[in-house]
Structure 1
Amino acid sequence: MTVFQEDAVKWLSTLADASVDLIITDPPYESLEKHRKIGTTTRLKVSKSSSNLWFNIFPNSRFEELLNQVYRVLKNNSHFYLFCDQETMFIIKPIAERVGFKFWKPIIWDKISIGMGYHYRARYECILFFEKGKRKLNNLGIPDILEYKRVYRGYPTEKPIELMKTLIEQSSCEGDLVVDPFFGSGAVLVAAHDLGRAFAGSDISNIAHDYYFKRA
């Protein structure tokens, strides 16, 4: 188990070139703060059940340095998944392509139950699917809409472990190194451990570390 409490870009910069088999991550992108301020999501508000101390925004202006590091540390012929909303997708895609990734498509995480919002209430989230080099998915029968119920009463922005297992099983093998530079609730790390992968991650939030170690 390798868990760090450092800025994502700084931490990735300490990893060796072409040393990682798969990266899956969910940065706290700028538009999340916009949704919180206008009240379109209750999960991000400060309350007894949800503290916003974790909510250190990763600005859009830093995505190029982040994606350069992600590309550098990934092995050739590997995959990279990034969770984001529709607004952030249009920012990340051209940057990722510029640093060298091939963009395949947005995979849709269908949360099954309806969420917050004003203009057609949210039920899904995007997972941008990138490739470095050329690698086949392990199971070509998996659809591009993945249905897993959202996690309630957990860490803000928490993702289901079973959803992470699907991505890990698709794009890695036992013993491979799976990395998450914004590990949050730790779902990627827990899923990687359960599937017999090596794993490493970083998050600057004290709350993320507390939450992860309680469940690990």
Structure 2
Amino acid sequence: MQFKIKNLDAVEFLKTLEDNSVNLIITDPAYESLEKHRKVGTTTRLKNSKASSNQWFEIFPNSRFEELFIEIFRVLKKGSHFYLFCDQETAFFAKPIAEEVGFKFWKPLVWDKVSIGMGYHYRARYEFILFFEKGKRKLKDLSIPDILTEKRVWRGYPTEKPVNLAKTLISQSSDEDDLVVDPFCGSGFVGIASVSMSRKFIGNDICLEACQVASERMKNHEDLIP
């Protein structure tokens, strides 16, 4: 098994995985604070993207973070990392819930997108990646800074993240043949990075079209691997 893509609710998907079976989780939920940005047109996380008439994003409400984190903690092996992409509002909300569940919070990493996005109060150029740990696990390279600079992806799947961004996290927090999981996989940037680095990957998304896009991208990328 190099990769699998499931089409379920994120929490229900995690419930299908065994206890202590996953080496690394990297994920990017469609967080609740996006709703207010969507209303004034300051985000690309639109229900209907220009590239498709389908609903790409179903908001994952703050009220469900506890059950999500409980399942993530359960499926992760002891001595593993969990990375959560989010904005500043969600960071303040999610951090204490994850800690209550049992995770150790190390720090927010900052993804510097290089070019600025939309906004009214200092236009956005960064996104947080909350860095959590279950048990103890050392990072592979202690010289990596907490600001990760990768140009944002233009004209791709809405909110698509750079594959190299995922590669940095994967290389820091896993080994070859480890299992990487993303319960909100979108178009599959974590999966592509995982497969290209000889990791196993299981992705999931509630949007069927996103699953189809991710699966196709990963199949095409897998064909290029020697």
The normalised TM-score by structure 2 is 0.92
What corresponds to 1:72 in structure 2? Answer: 74
Q: 2:187 aligns with which of 185, 188, 197?
A: 185
CA contact (8 A) 2:47 2:58 kept: no
CA contact (8 A) 1:50 1:156 kept: no
How far 1:45 moved relative to its partner?
6.1
Corresponding letter in the other structure for 2:211: H
The 1:15–1:148 alpha-carbon spacing in structure 2 relative to 1, beyond 3 Å, is same
The 1:42–1:73 alpha-carbon spacing in structure 2 relative to 1, beyond 3 Å, is closer
What corresponds to 2:204 in structure 1? Answer: 202
Q: Which has the higher mean CA deviation after the structures are superposed, 93-102 or 201-210?
A: 201-210
Corresponding letter in the other structure for 1:215: R
Distance in 1, matches of 2:123 and 2:63, equals: 28
Q: 2:107 aligns with which of 105, 109, 121?
A: 105
SS of the residue corresponding to residue 30 of structure 1 reads: coil
What corresponds to 1:87 in structure 2? Answer: 89
What corresponds to 1:173 in structure 2? Answer: 175
How far 1:212 moved relative to its partner?
1.2
SS of the residue corresponding to residue 105 of structure 1 reads: strand
Distance in 2, matches of 1:103 and 1:65, equals: 18
How far 1:34 moved relative to its partner?
1.5
Distance in 2, matches of 1:101 and 1:162, equals: 26
Distance in 1, matches of 2:65 and 2:15, equals: 14
Q: CA RMSD in A?
A: 1.2
CA contact (8 A) 1:44 1:52 kept: no
Distance in 1, matches of 2:90 and 2:100, equals: 16
Mark the runs of 5 or more structure 2 residues left unpaired by the alignment. 219-226
Distance in 1, matches of 2:135 and 2:93, equals: 22
What corresponds to 2:15 in structure 1? Answer: 13
Distance in 1, matches of 2:123 and 2:52, equals: 21
Mark the runs of 5 or more structure 1 residues left unpaired by the alignment. none
CA contact (8 A) 1:44 1:50 kept: no
What is the number of residues matched between the two proteins?
216
Distance in 2, matches of 1:52 and 1:147, equals: 31
How far 1:48 moved relative to its partner?
3.3
What corresponds to 1:212 in structure 2? Answer: 214
Corresponding letter in the other structure for 2:145: P
The 1:187–1:43 alpha-carbon spacing in structure 2 relative to 1, beyond 3 Å, is same
